[in-house]
Amino acid sequence: MKNRSPWLWIPTLYIAEGLPYFAVNTLTVLMYVKMGVSMSDMAFFTGWLYLPWVIKPFWSPFIDLFRTKRFWTLAMQALLAICMAGVGFLLPLPFFFAASLVCFWIMAFASATHDIAADGYYMLELTPHEQAAYVGVRSTFYRIASVVGQGGLVMVAGLLENRLESVSMAWSSVFLLLSAIFTLIFFYHLRYLPVAPADHPAPEPRNAVDIVREFGMTFATFFRKPGIIAALLFMLFYRLPEALCIKLVQPFLVASRESGGLGLSTIEVGFVNGTMGVIALLAGGILGGVMIASGGLKKWLWPMAMALTLPCLVYCWLAISQPQDFTLICSAIAIEQFGYGFGFTAFMLYLIYFSRGDWQTSHYAFCTAFMALGMMLPGMAAGWLYETLSHFSIVTDGVPSGFVNYFWFVMLSCLATFAVCASVKIDPEFGKKKS
């Protein structure tokens, strides 16, 4: 089994890592809005689903103690298949909201645990040279999962909405399809996921007390790093405009024109957000990497911060003008997503920069936890903000003011991004390509 080509399992492993993340954090937003859940309830309760990715560094060390990474990977894939089927069966019921949220909570914890186990397995099964050689493969198939999760599955839901004439049955079918896919992935990996010789529980006798003590040491050293306050503020607020946008963009796209939205169909949302948007996002990220390699992170931080924030103006324009040309809408969102991909590059590289030194892996995990927290908290408040700002009337030529006010508030939040960029200190040479 050790001699099997990584091509047999890396693509499917990272599709399995990406799909549940996008199902929990993206599909739920559009699904609940289409099923009549209020904006404030949708944003608040789906915002909580980020929590497992925030706190996963706290339980990741214990996965080393019990069984193997292969075992945890397979077990979580089986659990995800069961939870997806549970969502599918519960959506047509009257109490679907509370019941499906329970399944999504379990899915979120299972997905976060699967991330830990799958990434650990990747490092144990492959040599350092192979890890470097296949890093592009794993990234590519994770992005394919993004296109499928945010685009393909949404478009399938839209087609089924038209055919079945029932929103609940359409989304129920989508999650039953996802469950079938994960069942197939589980049995495929049961057969083709190699048993890595290095994949075994911690060899030396370690107990929970030792793990907690070691974790406490890494936690303490993280918060003693120079510039920790500025760094934490950067992690929490650099992406504030995007964190506010992400919960309301899909509801804005499908909302009727009478209520201030664009009135797109579910199929159109799947195409514009999950296909065109993701392609533009990837292009922006690639260009961002090239630019930082040529000039360094410090040089490109401010241009990238502006690229991440200022294109949010397209949503202000869309909300005010409500264009009917679908090509124009696609172009506007592609511009915003390209800017976000370009600007996000600086953020991820800063996490690597701040994590340098002893305990680098653990400190990077803490950074990603604060990154998730920075998306979770604004997302939870997004629905309440929208409903509150809807009560303030602004002259918009007859257009309801809810989304218009909200997206102008998003633009105001860009000031937080600029403030945290001004507070961090970065080595001018970091990120530059060496000769």
- Tens-digit pLDDT profile for residues 223-265: 888 889 999 999 999 999 999 988 899 999 998 888 888 999 9
Residue 400 has a pLDDT of: 66
Q: Identify the band that residue 397 occupies on the pLDDT scale cut at 50, 70 and 90.
A: low
CB burial readout 37-64, b (16+ within 10 A) else e: bebbebbbbbbbbbbbbbebbeebbebb
Report how many helices (DSSP H) and strands (DSSP E) the chain contains, helices first. Answer: 20, 0
pLDDT mean over 20-38: 91
- Backbone dihedral angles phi then psi of residue 356, each to the nearest 5 degrees: -60, 155
Q: State CA 48 to chain mean position distance.
A: 13
**406 CB contacts (<8 Å, ≥6 apart)?**
244, 248, 319, 385, 386, 389, 390
pLDDT mean over 329-357: 87
Q: What does pTM read for this prediction?
A: 0.84
Residue with the two structure tokens 């202000």: 316
3-state class (DSSP) for residue 74: helix
Task: Give the lowest-confidence range in 277-281, 355-359, 378-382.
Answer: 355-359
pLDDT mean over 267-272: 90
User: Rounded CA gap, 327 and 323, in Å?
Assistant: 10
- Give me 75's structure tokens: 């077990």
